[in-house]
Structure 1
Amino acid sequence: MSLPSLAALPASFESFVSRALQSFRAAVDDLSPQATQRLAAWPVARLAAFERVTAASEFVIEQALRDPEMLLALADSGELERSLQAGELRTQLNAALAECADEDELGRRLRRLRNRQQLRIIWRDITRQADLLETCRDLSDLADACIDLAYEWLYPRHCAQFGTPIGRRSGQVQQMVVLGMGKLGAVELNLSSDIDLIFAYPEGGETEGVKRSLDNQEFFIRLGQRLIKALDAITVDGFVFRVDMRLRPYGSAGALVLSFNALEQYYQDQGRDWERYAMIKARVVGGDQVAGAQLLEMLRPFVYRRYLDFSAIEALRAMKLLIQQEVRRKGMAENIKLGSGGIREVEFIAQAFQLIHGGRDLSLQQRPLLSVLRTLEGQGYLPPAVIEELRAGYEFLRYTEHALQAIADRQTQMLPDNREDRARVAFIMGFDSWEAFHERLMYWRGRVDWHFRQVIADPDEEEGAEAAVCVGGEWLPLWEDALDEETACRQLSEAGFAEAQSAWQRLAGLRASNQVRAMQRLGRERLDAFIPRLLAQAVERENPDLVLERVLPLIEAVARRSAYLVLLTENPSALLRLLTLCAASPWIAEQITRFPLLLDELLNEGRLFKPPLAPELAAELRERLTRIPEDDLEQQMEALRHFKLAHRLRVAASEIAGTLPLMKVSDYLTWLAEAILEQVLALAWRQTVAKSGTPRRTDGSLCDPDFIIVGYGKVGGLELGHGSDLDLVFIHDGDPQAETDGAKPIDGAQFFNRLGQRIIHLLTTQTTSGQLYEVDMRLRPSGASGLLVSSLGAFQRYQENEAWTWEHQALVRARVLVGCPRVAAAFEQVRAQVLGRARDLDKLRVEVSEMRAKMRDNLGSKETAAGTAANAFEAAAPFDLKQDAGGIVDIEFMVQYAALAWSREYPALLQYTDNIRILEGLEHAGLIPGADATLLREVYKAYRAAAHRLALQKQAGIVSGEQFHLERREVMRIWRELGLS
């Protein structure tokens, strides 16, 4: 974190500093000769620092003259030149409050420690020995310690007077919870900040142990009043912290303390948008920490909505408008917090993203602003250059705020209007003159304001006040049914709709739908604002009819959740991307309609069209799941599904945009499956072990986890498509007979079977976000009649003694996806031994050919005898890209045949499981002519690319018979030349 530089002491302060030093020396001399010696021992650097600090801060010199021993003691302790250790400040206060006799003494000791620490913090801030983060942390730690230790001192004495509060339902002793809001909650207190607090207690009841019991609420109200007095009252020693309780429910008119249930009910029924904004930073700063954590968890759904909440941006915009009006009314343009380009605008930017996305992106559920900015950059919400400007501008503004407040320990964010204080601020900030400082300040305020407008300002403001009427305004009468059918159709036709009548009927159908008719007023207003925008952008597309046909079902689906409409209204670029993708792919349109949460992905173009690589995918998913409590299975399953849906959309969008070639599409979809399987296995293992204990190996040691998931078919061959299922086989290497070490032990075979069942449950269960994957387990030993999970030994015996040739063909494309590295290595050895054994090639050709013939008979095009009849190449005939002769499966069977036939002599053929690289291996070994290997690779990719395109159009993988003539004939030729029939 950058620190403002140190400036030379202005000449105008030299005499003032000299007098201050003389006065301090005189005050020290009055203490004792020993005190004079202690001051004389100060190093030159500390005396220079004293001059700087007294030039900048009237507060410091006042405290030093009032209590010179305090400054001497600080200097002797070394605290002026070093950072405090974690917990050190609380330890000091604890010692200061030891044997405190009464509340008056409590107040004195709190204030004396506060003044001591305030002097130290200002000293280190002005001398640049502490950065912004340390200054804010020390101030916040000071507040935490004062609040909590004052509460701990008051609580037992309050109980002695009024009895101990007991919960009516639980029968447990009740403690108060003190929530710190705003800058205190975010550990961002400034040098002279109020502390915003909310008091609560877990449950109602009465006090016990006294003759006249008190209701719990009355008990805690009185306790809260005593705590406020201990902190807030101004005495001869000053104050500890000014306490502001106006953020509590109902503000100043509300009860000082409420129960958890009352708080939850209030926020659920009456909580306003600004209260959500405030609650983002709420933190337990005193009282019962455990109960406080429970309270914050209860209130989390109020703050962070599980859906994308773009209505939050409207609320923030309205709040900012009110602030701007107040600034103008009170003449606060020079206020660096509330004025244009001030601290509040940076906070609004960060909290806009938190409120909108925080319900789904748990990484945004944090308090410190600079940490939120880092997350916004890391998660791709804002570009690094924007974050850097916001960070630098915010830090400059906060340092300026501290400079203003260091002068007299006064709560202010107003720039001074007198020459002396202006010189002080410029000096503290490292500038030679007020003009130089002010120029830099206005630069940063301008940059902050510009970025604020990009995020918070109304998208129509760029075009001026009239633009709000103009954007799509020509379509408003048509949508509001103010035009007769003929006029409406003419407008649609003239705008470019080829089927104007159909378009008009679709719009009328949406308007009359049950979902729209059931909308409440606010939702209907949002829909009425959105549809004209939609039409205005649709007519800019090449095929507006297609756009409307595919997007209106989505609008109908989300009509009752109008926050999505706000998202698209607020983000014209996101709406444009939605229309582009839906026009290009009905599959994408259907996905977004089924799962509107995917609209979030349209907000960031860079992220949408650049899916992460395999390690980043896995790391991102791990991070998401670590933020969810281990016992919250529902949220874990939803997070897995959200992750899959979002990244699958990114891949499809990138494929449509041409930024991802076919092979990379399959790679990404396969990496996505592997990242999900890794976490599903971890979840299933944790849950199964928690219930039954850990299984054992044959040597008696515990498994960890000695289990692998093997992928076959498309996932094994890194060729997953957009709707592919997963062909999986589960294998373990534990002792099937040994019992687990749990309280309710079961044998190893039963444990691993339950583990497999758990994995399938996590993958296939339908939730509101669909299922993760369809799973096919039929390739396991003995198929559907076999055990769900095989031991490695049983798998090897089956493959060596019982497996059919087609099962060995499948094994060519099998690889370990996730699980224990040791068992994975052992599986690879088994695979190599099974596939690399000597074979009768004539028999192998017959068995491969017979299996292929069966597949063609059952799955190929009936009209053309699976592409072998004379009419197979006619335009009217279908060609099944996968199953017909000369198609994808023919190439796969040739590759599998070659691997089985020659891998004994050429074991390198077993290194890879995907067809492309096996074909490359066959070419390098000279087993297939180079021209034929190249042809098969290119044809295979061409077939798969066509199948992908059809899948995105929600069409079967079938084309007309006149396509791929040359390719099919060449594949069939090579098939025959390999001796297959």
Structure 2
Amino acid sequence: MSDAPCDSLTESHWHDWLAWASEQGLALPDDPEFEQARRRVWEASEYVAISAARHPDVLAELIASGDLARTYGASDLATRLSARLEGVADEGALQAALRRFRRREMMRIIWRDLANLAPLEETLEDLSELADVCIRGALDRLYPWACAEWGTPRDASGRPLRLLVLAMGKLGARELNLSSDIDLILAFAQPGTIEGGRRPLSHEQFFIRLGQRLVQTLANKTADGFVFRVDTRLRPFGEAGPLAMSLPAMEDYYQSQAREWERYAMIKARPVAGDPDDIEQLMAMLRPFVYRRYLDFGAFESLRELKRLIAKELYRHGMDANIKLGPGGIREIEFIGQAFQLVRGGRDPALQVRPIRTVLALLGQRQLMPATVVTQLDAAYVFLRRVENRLQAYRDQQIHCLPEDGPGRLRLARAMGYGDWASFAVELNAHRRRVQEQFDAVFALPATETEVEDTPLSAVWHGDRDPTHELELLERAGFAAPEAVRTRLHQFRDTCMRRGLSARGQERLGLIMPHILCVAAGCAQPELALERVLRVLESIVRRSAYLAMLAEHPLILTQLIRLSDLSPWFADQIARHPLLLDELLDPRRLYAPLRRESLEAELDALLDQVDAEDLEQQMERLHQFAQGNQLRVAAADLTETIPLMVVSDYLTEIAEVALRRVLNLAYAHLVARHGRPTQIQGEETGFLVIGYGKLGGIELGYGSDLDLVFLHGSDSVSALTDGPKPISNEQFYARLGQRLIHMMTTLTPSGRLYEVDLRLRPDGAKGMLVRSLTSFEQYQNESAWTWEHQALVRARPVAGDPVLAARFQDIRRAILCRKRDPDQLRREVREMRARMRENLDTSGAGRFDLKQGAGGIADIEFMVQYAVLRWAADYPALTDWTDNVRLLDTLARLDLLPGRCVKDLTEAYKALRAAYHRSALREQPKTLSDDELRPERERVRALWQEWMDD
């Protein structure tokens, strides 16, 4: 910006100050940068120029102290105000002191802002802190004066009650501008009556009077001006409601009577004064009102309507030049960020923050918005807030409209660093255009609203045509049984009406049902796809947020229908756990299952904000994690995005990550109470979880149980934990195992994490839940049956102490590498397989049991286990793996089995496993028609007879 002179009026104010300074014998800093900054400030702020002329001592003190050139520390303002208020004895003196303090600090803040000495975040923070300390400073004097006059309000225990002050809007977010109102809501902890005063006074009367005095102290305009204009209309019931309300009354209001826009306003609510315990109670009460447990896509609709009302008001007043509320203005940026907060904040507590720039950054980090868009919105926000501050700095007025006169435009452009209005306007309009484009994209009407009105199938749902024509439309669309479809639709509509579906819910159904019919009609099994999706809708139809989600995002519907067409399991998972609809939002995520490192990071994010003692919420987040990731694997599996042989890898990694986290949480809980076990083997927990069966063999399927064995590293019967409430190591590890099982298996509203089977532990169901590794080794050496050694082939550590894991591997290898009599081994393996087949094989009536039938999966597994136990003594490499495919590869590599046999068994195993997976996804019995996979099964039977039968 050039050094063009200030206007003559502001320059005259400067000459007045110089004359006063000369009389006082004060010299200006000999610094060209000071004069350059002074000229910028005087040109852009008549308020500072006049304040300096009228109160020259203030500017002199600011210059002498060096405060114009430095950033304040965290407690500077509070310390300075405390000194100013020392000795203040009445409300008149309090008001005067606060106003003079505010004048000094506003001159300082405006100087630093206009002179480009402070970045935007410092200016907003200083303004917000100034408001905070003035509120608290005023209340710290007014409260004891009120108690002396009326008596002290107390709770039932005698604790004095304080006024709770909740800052809203920009002050709540610590984003206050240079001449903003401060929006406040006042509350108190409990209703009651004050006794002992001149006359009884209710708590409500006391705190309303105190609140009135606080507002007057801050907002009354006196000879010294005002401190802050105060707006209390955001309180419950608005201007019709009491100025201060008890927490129970507020809770009742927000649960039953609050309007949707109040949720939006409460995002920025921040307590600035009050007892810490009462504040905690207030915020805990407000949190579920603002942030819903589920994804709340109704927020887009509500904010779209709110913006529509604002736009209508602006149009009526011709306020397109309003940089706050107008097109592409500050409010649109805030709406974008806060819409995502309302939708996702309940599921992602990190989004429960107030500053909009922090919110935008989080949206970029979570890939909810493209990084380039976040950068553009952030840059626009900084630019527009700087414009807003410069508009308001001129006369300390709360204005948001761009100037229309030439001098005013030039002054604003120069204050922003531009030589003329035209160059400034180009930059301003570019920012506003980008903001409006993004706002329009985020809040665009759902595609269903604009597309389905012309869809013929819309008439079928709405019943606009005669029945014959509706049947023709359904048949023409692709439904083979149009009469059955029409009947089912009527049944579904009647069910919705009986359940009392709201008018808005009916509107949303009217938007999504034609889309569902169109997409289902194009599926391979239209009637089945429709039926499965209708079952999902029946489970969510009374939960308006889910209908809003589907209406806002027709892509979710498309994914749901197509995947439900392929798998009833998929539809049933969504119906049981509607939160999983979130997984369908982004196809890039849906069809790209996560591997271990990414799974760990996702689980970290889910659990980071959960209290360490909140077991229910921990379990809820773990369920969300496992269900969501299993759904992604199924989506990728059904669409053949990932090959079959890695499906089990993905499912196994999900289970392991969940299991390890459950162990960590359970261990931390017990350590907090009892301390750590002492005299143990191991370097961490001294606890080990062994996975057997499909988990151990890295072959989990959809809905598989987890076969687990728990071991610990304590051999001393007298060893105790080292905490304040010590217990024996045995007790500690037993409780750890119990808590782990509880967290894994307890049925909650969102289901259970996993079913767990512990029958493979030593001594089976009669054995101890947790056993020492030493006794486990002894049992395997002295008491275990051959089938238990077979089970060890597929056993591996899946969670717990790495030192114990290494020792377990040594024990396992030693057991598996024993010398065995081949004939006796063959006989025992064969006999166990015969018993299993006799008890478990469901083959018959033209169906073949994929797992237990002769020539099925179990035959292959038993042959592999026999081979490992038969030859591991001579070939220890056979103990390196636990999964069947790699064990077969090892047998081939060692020339222990002919290559053709291994190839046949591997191909048969993969084919049978694929059929097993598909049966799970189709929720069908794990059987095949006798005609299916016959060559593979016959080859397995032939190899069984060759190797295992006498």
TM over 0.5: yes
Specify the alignment match of 2:29 in structure 1.
40
Inter-CA distance 532–209: structure 2 relative to 1 (3 Å threshold): same
Aligned residue identity for 1:518: G
Whole-Å separation in 1 of the counterparts to 2:490 and 2:122 = 61
Contact 1:609 1:659 in 2 (8 A): yes
Inter-CA distance 13–544: structure 2 relative to 1 (3 Å threshold): farther
Deviations 1:503-556 (A, max 9, x none): 011112112227645324433343344323322443344543222111111222
1:262 is the counterpart of 2:249: yes
Aligned residue identity for 1:599: L
Contact 1:581 1:588 in 2 (8 A): yes
1:579 is the counterpart of 2:572: no
Inter-CA distance 929–45: structure 2 relative to 1 (3 Å threshold): farther
Specify the alignment match of 1:59 in structure 2.
47
Deviations 1:197-224 (A, max 9, x none): 0000000122245332321111111111
Specify the alignment match of 1:821 in structure 2.
802
Contact 1:713 1:814 in 2 (8 A): yes
**How far did 1:335 drift?**
0.7
Whole-Å separation in 1 of the counterparts to 2:533 and 2:52 = 71
Whole-Å separation in 2 of the counterparts to 1:78 and 1:946 = 79
Whole-Å separation in 1 of the counterparts to 2:258 and 2:213 = 28
Contact 2:682 2:713 in 1 (8 A): no
1:519 is the counterpart of 2:501: yes
**How far did 1:415 drift?**
1.1
Specify the alignment match of 1:281 in structure 2.
268
Query: SS of the counterpart of 2:153?
Result: strand
Inter-CA distance 823–105: structure 2 relative to 1 (3 Å threshold): farther
Specify the alignment match of 2:820 in structure 1.
839
TM-score, reference length from structure 2: 0.94
Contact 2:10 2:50 in 1 (8 A): no
Query: SS of the counterpart of 2:395?
Result: coil
1:618 is the counterpart of 2:618: no
- Please give the residue correspondences for 1:852-871 in structure 2 after superposition, counting only pairs within 5 Å: 852-860=833-841, 862-863=843-844
Contact 2:683 2:803 in 1 (8 A): no
Whole-Å separation in 1 of the counterparts to 2:241 and 2:717 = 64
In structure 1, which of residues 871, 878, 881 is the aligned counterpart of residue 850 of structure 2?
A: 881
Aligned residue identity for 1:113: F
Aligned residue identity for 1:343: I
Whole-Å separation in 2 of the counterparts to 1:738 and 1:515 = 65
Identity percentage over the alignment? 49
In structure 2, which of residues 677, 685, 696 is the aligned counterpart of residue 705 of structure 1?
A: 685
1:419 is the counterpart of 2:406: yes
1:727 is the counterpart of 2:727: no
Aligned residue identity for 1:29: S
Specify the alignment match of 2:187 in structure 1.
200
Specify the alignment match of 1:4 in structure 2.
none
1:596 is the counterpart of 2:584: no
Specify the alignment match of 1:868 in structure 2.
none
Inter-CA distance 956–56: structure 2 relative to 1 (3 Å threshold): same
Query: SS of the counterpart of 1:196?
Result: strand
Contact 1:835 1:900 in 2 (8 A): yes
Contact 1:380 1:604 in 2 (8 A): no
Deviations 1:340-368 (A, max 9, x none): 12111121122222222322332322222
Contact 2:207 2:244 in 1 (8 A): yes
Contact 1:277 1:303 in 2 (8 A): yes
Specify the alignment match of 1:696 in structure 2.
677
Specify the alignment match of 2:484 in structure 1.
502
- Please give the residue correspondences for 1:391-406 in structure 2 after superposition, counting only pairs within 5 Å: 391-406=378-393
Inter-CA distance 155–18: structure 2 relative to 1 (3 Å threshold): closer
Whole-Å separation in 2 of the counterparts to 1:915 and 1:132 = 62
Contact 1:527 1:562 in 2 (8 A): no
**How far did 1:756 drift?**
1.5
The worse-fitting range, judged by mean Cα deviation, of 779-788 and 572-581 is 572-581
Deviations 1:5-29 (A, max 9, x none): xxx2253649888767655443322
Specify the alignment match of 1:795 in structure 2.
776
Specify the alignment match of 2:647 in structure 1.
665
Aligned residue identity for 1:389: Q
- Please give the residue correspondences for 1:712-751 in structure 2 after superposition, counting only pairs within 5 Å: 712-734=692-714, 735-740=716-721, 746-751=727-732
Specify the alignment match of 1:872 in structure 2.
none
In structure 1, which of residues 70, 75, 86 is the aligned counterpart of residue 58 of structure 2?
A: 70
Whole-Å separation in 2 of the counterparts to 1:839 and 1:756 = 34
Whole-Å separation in 2 of the counterparts to 1:611 and 1:77 = 61
Whole-Å separation in 1 of the counterparts to 2:639 and 2:9 = 69
- Please give the residue correspondences for 1:13-52 in structure 2 after superposition, counting only pairs within 5 Å: 13=6, 23-31=16-24, 33=25, 35-36=26-27, 39-41=28-30, 43-52=31-40
**How far did 1:744 drift?**
5.9
Inter-CA distance 493–971: structure 2 relative to 1 (3 Å threshold): same
Query: SS of the counterpart of 1:816?
Result: strand
Specify the alignment match of 1:805 in structure 2.
786
Whole-Å separation in 2 of the counterparts to 1:124 and 1:973 = 89
Specify the alignment match of 2:884 in structure 1.
915
Specify the alignment match of 2:910 in structure 1.
941
Deviations 1:434-484 (A, max 9, x none): 222212222222222222122223225995xxx67x254x44443344545
Query: SS of the counterpart of 1:80?
Result: helix
The worse-fitting range, judged by mean Cα deviation, of 407-416 and 900-909 is 900-909
Whole-Å separation in 1 of the counterparts to 2:6 and 2:725 = 79
Query: SS of the counterpart of 1:631?
Result: coil
The worse-fitting range, judged by mean Cα deviation, of 199-208 and 481-490 is 481-490
**How far did 1:387 drift?**
2.4
Whole-Å separation in 2 of the counterparts to 1:953 and 1:342 = 51
Specify the alignment match of 2:859 in structure 1.
890
- Please give the residue correspondences for 1:275-314 in structure 2 after superposition, counting only pairs within 5 Å: 275-314=262-301
1:630 is the counterpart of 2:579: no
**How far did 1:588 drift?**
0.5
Contact 2:6 2:42 in 1 (8 A): no
The worse-fitting range, judged by mean Cα deviation, of 809-818 and 624-633 is 624-633
Inter-CA distance 64–930: structure 2 relative to 1 (3 Å threshold): farther
Inter-CA distance 965–417: structure 2 relative to 1 (3 Å threshold): same
Specify the alignment match of 1:108 in structure 2.
96
**How far did 1:737 drift?**
3.8
In structure 2, which of residues 540, 555, 571 is the aligned counterpart of residue 558 of structure 1?
A: 540
Deviations 1:895-928 (A, max 9, x none): 3334334444444443333333334444454545
Inter-CA distance 565–143: structure 2 relative to 1 (3 Å threshold): same
Matched pairs, number = 949
Deviations 1:390-435 (A, max 9, x none): 2232222222222322333221211111222322332333333322
Specify the alignment match of 1:135 in structure 2.
123
Question: Where does structure 1 lack aligned partners over 5 or more consecutive residues?
Answer: 1-7, 864-875
Deviations 1:664-722 (A, max 9, x none): 3222222221222223223333444556x2353237x9996322222111122222111
Whole-Å separation in 1 of the counterparts to 2:122 and 2:875 = 64
Inter-CA distance 141–822: structure 2 relative to 1 (3 Å threshold): farther
Whole-Å separation in 2 of the counterparts to 1:966 and 1:12 = 96
After superposition, the CA RMSD in angstroms is: 2.8
The worse-fitting range, judged by mean Cα deviation, of 964-973 and 78-87 is 964-973
1:848 is the counterpart of 2:841: no
- Please give the residue correspondences for 1:387-536 in structure 2 after superposition, counting only pairs within 5 Å: 387-459=374-446, 470-472=453-455, 474-513=456-495, 516-536=498-518
Whole-Å separation in 1 of the counterparts to 2:226 and 2:524 = 69
Specify the alignment match of 2:110 in structure 1.
122
Query: SS of the counterpart of 1:522?
Result: helix
Whole-Å separation in 1 of the counterparts to 2:55 and 2:882 = 80
Whole-Å separation in 1 of the counterparts to 2:822 and 2:38 = 93
Question: Where does structure 2 lack aligned partners over 5 or more consecutive residues?
Answer: none
Whole-Å separation in 1 of the counterparts to 2:177 and 2:213 = 25
Whole-Å separation in 2 of the counterparts to 1:83 and 1:902 = 76
Whole-Å separation in 2 of the counterparts to 1:40 and 1:24 = 14
- Please give the residue correspondences for 1:184-263 in structure 2 after superposition, counting only pairs within 5 Å: 184-263=171-250
Whole-Å separation in 1 of the counterparts to 2:890 and 2:120 = 60
Aligned residue identity for 1:379: R
TM-score, reference length from structure 1: 0.91
Specify the alignment match of 1:92 in structure 2.
80
Aligned residue identity for 1:567: M
